[in-house]
Amino acid sequence: MTRSLREMDYDYLTSKREDRIVYSMPGHAPSLVTTIAPNGTVNVGAFEQTMLCSNVPPVIILAVSPKSDTLHNLRDHRECVIGYPYPASVQKVYDAGVRLPRGISEVELVGFNTEPAVTVEPPRLRECWFVAEGQLLWEQDSGDHVACGISVNHVALDASFWDDDYKNRRVKLPALYYTVGGNFFEVGDHKKVQASSFVRNTGHAG
């Protein structure tokens, strides 16, 4: 797969409103997360619950199973790369959910293509149109999952999805969504809502 990436470091992501991470990623979508196991192998985890928590500083939340290799690797190694996959890679996204012994990599078994990250040891996946590199900032027990806050220090976005108009940029992003039993769907057309007189007079948070 040949692609050009737009690289964005921490200073860029936090300098101007229109350059914040929120405008280069979906609000909530399944992700692929790479971490490093104690034996040095690359683990790839598929996560349904991934969302932005903060723009400044950039923080992404992962909802991780307490039994997952990803959680243990984050606790041991701290670093990860979070990626949003191209719709064409949907089969690999599903296959990444396979249960393997810790230290056995999904990369070769599923057929992922890796490339070096800029700021962390875990690699990026070429199957992803968006990648965020970062470290475990905090974790919180949250029922049957553990919420992990990932402090993001570098982001790369497929340049073909870039739009200088930050509102248009987010609309064009090709996010996948997961229902159940291997069923995925893609984002459809967006709907434009006009501000009511109440909103115009009061102001809106968005």
The rounded distance, in Å, linking the Cα atoms of 117 and 9 is: 12
The rounded distance, in Å, linking the Cα atoms of 173 and 115 is: 22
| Cross-strand partners of 31 | 47
Task: Please report, for the chain, the start and end positions of each structural domain, with discontinuous segments joined by +.
Answer: 5-202
pLDDT given for residue 1 in this prediction: 61
Question: What number is the average pLDDT over the span 183-187?
Answer: 68
The rounded distance, in Å, linking the Cα atoms of 88 and 6 is: 20
Task: Give the model confidence (pLDDT) of 2-53 as tens digits.
Answer: 789 999 999 999 999 999 999 999 877 889 999 999 999 999 999 988 999 9
Q: Whose structure tokens read 């905090």?
A: 138
Task: Give the model confidence (pLDDT) of 72-127 as tens digits.
Answer: 999 999 999 999 999 889 889 889 988 889 999 999 999 999 999 999 999 999 99
Residue 126: how many other CB atoms lie within 10 Å: 18
Q: C-alpha angle with apex 49: 44 to 54, nearest 5 degrees? A: 105
Cα dihedral sign, 12-13-17-19:
positive
Cα dihedral sign, 13-15-19-22:
positive
pLDDT given for residue 29 in this prediction: 82
Tallying the residues shown for the chain, one arrives at 206
Cα-based torsion angle of the residue sequence 165, 20, 29, 65 in order, rounded to the nearest 10 degrees = 170
CATH fold label, 5-202: Pnp Oxidase; Chain A (2.30.110)
Does residue 177 surpass a pLDDT of 50? yes
pLDDT given for residue 206 in this prediction: 47
Contact 149, 138 (CB under 8 A): yes
pLDDT given for residue 171 in this prediction: 78
Contact 41, 104 (CB under 8 A): yes
pTM, whole model, 2 decimals? 0.88
Residue 104: how many other CB atoms lie within 10 Å: 14
Task: Give the model confidence (pLDDT) of 87-97 as tens digits.
Answer: 889 889 889 98
